[in-house]
């Protein structure tokens, strides 16, 4: 057992060494789409796609706080986690910085729709006060970070728990893959709006996603680990609420 | 808190810190600039004729103010997390004590 662990640890270290040494530094664009940088048609398109999820999210939050008022603080904690993580611009191997999303934790705890609302608030705050992201592009950014991310997190968590029964592994994978998925969708959104002159959407997507994915890999791992950190705290002090939430979700 | 959980959390923090420091040490010729500016450039490359049609309503006047706002965002969130964890820890401890009393 111990040997196996040592071996897998060595493999991880070797993998990272390879990854860090193979990467050519270049500039990446791994953040939200800036204000005004989606053509009107696409901006409206993503807003229309995003809004129904937001409304369903509001309804899910309302039901949750009505039926389980004691989970309000936990809800605030999940929102605060997204708030903190998306304020941290972390240097990455590509030579530029990007930030994690923090939506995985809340999605695992409360289901994806609740996190749609909380994630949108984070984006709204950054768009209005920090000129980071934007109001016209909020639909697109919220769709990637507050809809796709949480849904990926939730499905990955469910699948992993069902197939392996390992909670921590499931939380880690859920948060890390939600983070990755968010930025893959962002690059898809940019590729759709700005297809390359030769090769069209696919070539453009390859360019955006190639850079995105590479920048985001270490950040996604960090996000997964930090989510497990908070999860560990909650498991020690807060089993009761977690169990109620589990049983609600099973019933739903 | 259980010993193994403690160890795991410390390990997690070390790995996360390493993931941040390694790029800083390995890549020398970069200022780790934010992506926003670079994205503008990329879009201009892909579609030279594109003009942004909407400007941010408010923009922090400089990088100092911007970093202040980002720091506030992180501090606010961290404060809530600290409050929450502290609340739950206090509650758990209290519950343990009253269990001992009744036993």
Q: Among B57, B6, B88, B16, which Cα is nearest to A220's? A: B16
Do the beta carbons of residue A191 and residue A211 sit within 8 Å? no
Q: Which residues of chain B fall short of a pLDDT of 50?
A: none
Inter-chain contact A237–B85, Cβ cutoff 8 Å? yes
Do the beta carbons of residue A245 and residue A109 sit within 8 Å? yes
ipTM above 0.95, yes or no: no
**Angle, in degrees to the nearest 10, between helices A103-110 and A200-237:** 60
CATH of domain A31-251: 1.10.1760.20
- Nearest-10 Cα torsion for A69, B97, A81, B25: -170
Inter-chain contact A232–B92, Cβ cutoff 8 Å? no
pLDDT at A123: 94
pLDDT at A224: 96
Is this structure's pTM higher than 0.95?
no
- Residue A251 reports pLDDT greater than 60: no
Do the beta carbons of residue B87 and residue A70 sit within 8 Å? no
- Residue A28 reports pLDDT greater than 50: no
As a whole number of angstroms, the distance between CA B65 and CA A131 comes to 12
pLDDT at A248: 66
Residue-averaged pLDDT of chain A: 86
Question: What distances in angstroms separate CA A18 from CA A14, A21, A93, one per listed residue?
Answer: 6, 5, 12
**Residue B38: which of A29, A74, A134 has the nearest Cβ?**
A29
pLDDT at A30: 42
Inter-chain contact B38–A28, Cβ cutoff 8 Å? yes
Question: Of residues B73 and A9, which shows the higher confidence score?
Answer: B73
Q: How confident is the model at residue A4 (pLDDT cuts 50, 70, 90)?
A: confident
pLDDT at B65: 85
Residue A66 φ then ψ, to 5°: -80, -45
Return left, alpha or beta for B33; rule: phi > 0 is left, psi -120 to 50 is alpha, else beta: beta
Annotated domain spans of chain A: 31-251
Average confidence (pLDDT) over A222-242: 90
pLDDT > 70 in chain A, percent: 90
pLDDT at A27: 38
The total number of residues shown for chain B amounts to 103
pLDDT at A24: 45
As a whole number of angstroms, the distance between CA A142 and CA A139 comes to 5
Question: Of residues B77 and A239, which shows the higher confidence score?
Answer: B77
- Residue A20 reports pLDDT greater than 70: no
Do the beta carbons of residue A100 and residue A223 sit within 8 Å? yes
Task: List, in order, residues 6 or more apart from A32 with CB less than 8 Å away.
Answer: A123, A126, A132, A133, A134, A137, A141, A145, A186
**Mind listing the pLDDT tens digit for each residue in A130-169?**
888 889 999 999 999 999 999 999 999 999 999 999 999 9
Q: How confident is the model at residue A90 (pLDDT cuts 50, 70, 90)?
A: confident
Q: How confident is the model at residue A25 (pLDDT cuts 50, 70, 90)?
A: very low
pLDDT at B25: 86
Q: Mind telling me how many Å the CA of A14 is from chain B's nearest CA?
A: 14
Q: In chain A, positions 150-179, which contact chain B (CB-CB < 8 Å)? A: none
Q: Is some CB atom of chain A closer than 8 A to the CB atom of B25?
A: no
Q: What is the DSSP letter of A98?
A: E
Q: DSSP string of A158-195?
A: HHHHHHH--HHHHHHHHHHHHHHHHHHHHHHHHHHHS-
As a whole number of angstroms, the distance between CA B100 and CA A107 comes to 36
As a whole number of angstroms, the distance between CA A34 and CA A141 comes to 9
Q: How confident is the model at residue A22 (pLDDT cuts 50, 70, 90)?
A: low
Q: Is some CB atom of chain B closer than 8 A to the CB atom of A81?
A: yes
**Mind listing the pLDDT tens digit for each residue in A41-85?**
999 999 999 999 999 999 999 999 998 888 899 999 999 999 999
Inter-chain contact B52–A36, Cβ cutoff 8 Å? yes
């Amino acid at each position: 057992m111990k040997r196996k662990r040592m071996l897998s640890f060595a493999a991880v270290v070797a993998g990272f060494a390879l990854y860090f040494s193979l990467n050519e530094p270049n500039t990446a664009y791994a953040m939200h789409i800036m204000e005004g940088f989606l053509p009107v048609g696409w901006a409206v398109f993503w807003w229309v796609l995003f809004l129904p999820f937001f409304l369903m999210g509001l309804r899910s939050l309302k039901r949750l706080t009505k039926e389980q008022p004691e989970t309000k603080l936990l809800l605030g904690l999940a929102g605060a986690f997204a708030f903190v993580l998306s304020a941290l611009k972390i240097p990455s191997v590509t030579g530029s910085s990007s930030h994690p999303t923090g939506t995985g934790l809340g999605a695992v705890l409360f289901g994806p729709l609740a996190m749609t609302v909380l994630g949108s608030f984070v984006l709204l705050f950054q768009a209005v006060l920090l000129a980071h992201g934007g109001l016209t592009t909020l639909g697109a950014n919220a769709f990637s970070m507050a809809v796709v991310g949480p849904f990926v997190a939730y499905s990955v968590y469910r699948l992993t728990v069902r197939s392996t029964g390992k909670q921590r592994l499931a939380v880690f994978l859920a948060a890390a893959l939600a983070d990755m998925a968010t930025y893959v969708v962002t690059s898809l959104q940019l590729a759709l709006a700005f297809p390359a002159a030769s090769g069209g959407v696919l070539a453009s997507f390859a360019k955006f996603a190639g850079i995105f994915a590479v920048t985001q890999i270490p950040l996604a791992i960090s996000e997964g680990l930090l989510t497990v950190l908070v999860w560990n705290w909650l498991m020690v002090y807060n089993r009761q609420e977690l169990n109620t939430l589990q049983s609600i979700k099973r019933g739903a | 808190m259980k010993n193994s959980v403690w160890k795991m959390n410390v390990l997690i923090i070390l790995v996360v810190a390493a993931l941040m420091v390694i790029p800083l040490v390995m890549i020398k010729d970069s200022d780790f600039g934010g992506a926003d500016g670079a994205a503008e450039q990329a879009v201009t490359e892909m579609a030279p004729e594109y003009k942004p049609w909407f400007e941010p309503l408010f923009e922090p006047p400089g990088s100092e103010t911007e970093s202040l706002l980002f720091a506030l965002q992180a501090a606010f969130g961290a404060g809530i997390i600290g409050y929450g964890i502290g609340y739950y820890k206090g509650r758990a401890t209290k519950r343990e004590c009253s269990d001992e009393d009744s036993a």
